A and B are shown apart, each in its own frame.
Chain A
Amino acid sequence: MATENARYNMMELMVVVASRQLEDGKTAVIGTGMPLAAAMLAQKTISPSLVTMFEAGAAAPELVKLPMSVADSYTQTGAILHSSMAEIMEMCQKGLVDYTFLGGAQIDMYGNINSTMVGTDLQHPKVRLPGSGGANDLASFCWKTLVITPHDKRRFSRTLDFMTTPGYLTGPGARERAGLPPGTGPYKVISTLALIGYDSELKRMRVESLHPGVTKEEVIANTGFELLFDDPLPVTPEPTDFELKVLREEVDPQGLVTGKG
């Protein structure tokens, strides 16, 4: 496992790494939990004019506290726009939204995600999960899709029980062939072991950096498919004191998201 030292825990490391992927002046549709903590941290560090939107209808709120729901009052407090789910999704579909941030039970090497079920029969699943929610739409429409997830062999799976949300589908050109908007697709995966991007030709996961204390062998052993690796392969820069201070004091003082590490 990655080093959990006195300075930070794993959840804090992931939120910090995720926050660094969000460029200033861009727009993002964000879900509750770690993605939201990452967006709030980005706004208070490198991306003060990052616009956050919520699929339930609020846009550009003054995020004073981590919301419990993508619809609750904290997503609406000080917002510039109170609208509808259709309005947010239509902004995504017309190309106005740069980032989305997702989770999921299983992800494959092309960044396709399962959040629907475990089993083989949708009408009688072994384990039923929430389903797409907005994930299928957001990953179809937004320019860049990011995923935050624990890294183990069960989640990083060669095959999916159900492909809920499109990554690069079956590989190069597949999204375009299926009819998804061109130029969109998976961008980064922030896992408990590494920061992972996608090979520009093969559209497969390519590890960009290993978190402090993690070895390449460990990543391979915890992944159910063949990964590509950057060479040389750097170590993910540790959270700075400033990032940790903002995260702990302003973003998640109650440890709702980062306390579970």
Chain B
Amino acid sequence: MPEDVANIVSQGELFSPPDVNGAREFFRQKSRAMTDKRMTVQEAVSRFIHDGDYVASGGFGMVRIATAILHEIVRQGRKNLGFSGHTSTHDFEIMCAGQCFNRCDAAYILGLELFGLSRQARRWMESGNVRVTEWSNATLGWRYKAAAMGIPFLPARSLLGTDEFKYSAAKVIECPFTGEKLAAIPALWPDVGFIHVHRADIYGNSQIDGISVADWDMVRACKHVIVSTERIISTDEIRQDAAKTLVPYWMVDAVCHVPYGCYPGNMPYEYFLDADHLNEWMAAEKDEATLKAFLDKYIYGTKTFEEYLELKGGAKRMAELRALEPLRRRGE
């Protein structure tokens, strides 16, 4: 070992520095208006996601992801984005297929757990076109948490002593109380975050069922938030079960009503993942020509997410995936 584990200096690039007062000033100016924010996915992506922005994707890779938003980012040809690779699997696969980003904070990327590794995502990450800084799932999530708290960093007890630390942009600090070494994890305020939820009202008040993964902190860190939702409900219904509210309207910029908007992912309590289509994706990645034909068919050749769902079997297939879902609400 050339250097002692106690003295490793990090050299990762900080794509989004923790400008805590700049973030405060942004949120000071952000509209608090309780207005109808419904719009199409096309309009939401076109208005709020711009070339070069730093974006964050909610859910967990192939569970409760905003697939319709991801497809639209590819369809509209966004380029040179920054991407937070937090628990990113099928979402990462889609973003790589569109070659949408050129810098990546990588905690978990390009694997789809039991489905294997995405070959085209690997090609994109090995191409030299993407600058990478390494993080772990907890520390990248805590970057959102620090931002959500409005502080420049949080101390953590992982990363230390490893290459994972060396190629991160964390710094070692000493605890002022105990003298322990700690990794200072810088806050991350993405320009835009997008999440898929079970239900939202027209103003953006949004609720989910099941695990929240990192979305609680992520939406609180993002400057702009796009919500896609299975259902639009009334504000009264939100108020009746307010403990379920993941994000209140004053954080939200756009509400897109997209039933099955997580397909082919698993929307807990609604529908299970479509393993056949996820495998179809993996098979299509064997070479560039096959992938291009696949993307032309499902993304570039469709105008809307609904057209994609129709190509994948429409209502019949969705009913089958509903039947495969093991989680049921009480009484169902």
Contact = CB atoms under 8 A, between A and B. Distances in A.
A170 B156 CA distance: 21
Contacts of B181: 178-179
A162 B163 contact: yes
A84 B106 CA distance: 19
Contacts of A80: none
Contacts of A33: 113-114
A179 B182 contact: yes
B231 to A, nearest CB: 18
A128 B125 contact: yes
Interface centre among A93, A130, A160 (most CB of B within 10 A): A130
Of listed A65, A126, A164, residue having the most chain B CB within 10 A: A164
A123 B327 CA distance: 41
A48 B326 CA distance: 23
A127 B63 contact: no
Interface string A67-79: 0111111111100
Contacts of A133: 87, 107-108, 111, 136-137
A123 B161 CA distance: 21
A32 B180 CA distance: 34
B156 A122 contact: no
B111 A89 contact: no
B2 to A, nearest CB: 11
Given A68-B114, A68-B273, A89 B141 contact: yes
A175 interface: yes
B282 to A, nearest CB: 13
Interface in A104-124: 112, 116, 122-124
Interface residues of A, number: 62
B106 A68 contact: no
Contacts of A164: 162-164
A158 to B, nearest CB: 13
B62 interface: yes
Interface in A46-91: 55-58, 64-65, 68-77, 82-86, 89
B119 to A, nearest CB: 11
A90 B300 CA distance: 42
Interface residues of B, number: 71
Interface stretch (A136-144, A190-198, A213-221, A239-247): A136-144
Given A68-B275, A123-B132, A180 B161 contact: yes
A129 B183 CA distance: 24
B281 interface: no
B109 A179 contact: no
Nearest to A83: B211
B131 interface: yes
A163 interface: yes
Interface stretch (B22-30, B212-220, B249-257): B212-220
Nearest to B275: A68
Given A76-B268, A128-B126, A89 B164 contact: no
Interface in A237-256: 256
Given A174-B161, A179-B172, A83 B266 contact: no
A93 B157 contact: yes
Given A132-B137, A134-B138, A64 B126 contact: no
B1 A84 contact: no
A79 to B, nearest CB: 9
A140 B136 CA distance: 11
B136 A32 contact: no
Contacts of B17: none
B145 interface: yes
Given A57-B211, A124-B128, 12 more contacts: A56-B63, A72-B266, A72-B272, A72-B273, A73-B268, A76-B210, A83-B212, A86-B138, A128-B110, A166-B160, A170-B4, A170-B5
User: Which 9 residue pairs of A and B lie closest in terms of their CB atoms, listed nearest first?
Assistant: A179-B181, A178-B161, A57-B211, A71-B60, A130-B111, A133-B108, A137-B138, A140-B158, A89-B138
15 contacts: A56-B60, A56-B63, A68-B114, A68-B275, A72-B63, A72-B273, A93-B157, A128-B125, A129-B110, A132-B134, A137-B158, A140-B159, A164-B162, A170-B5, A174-B5
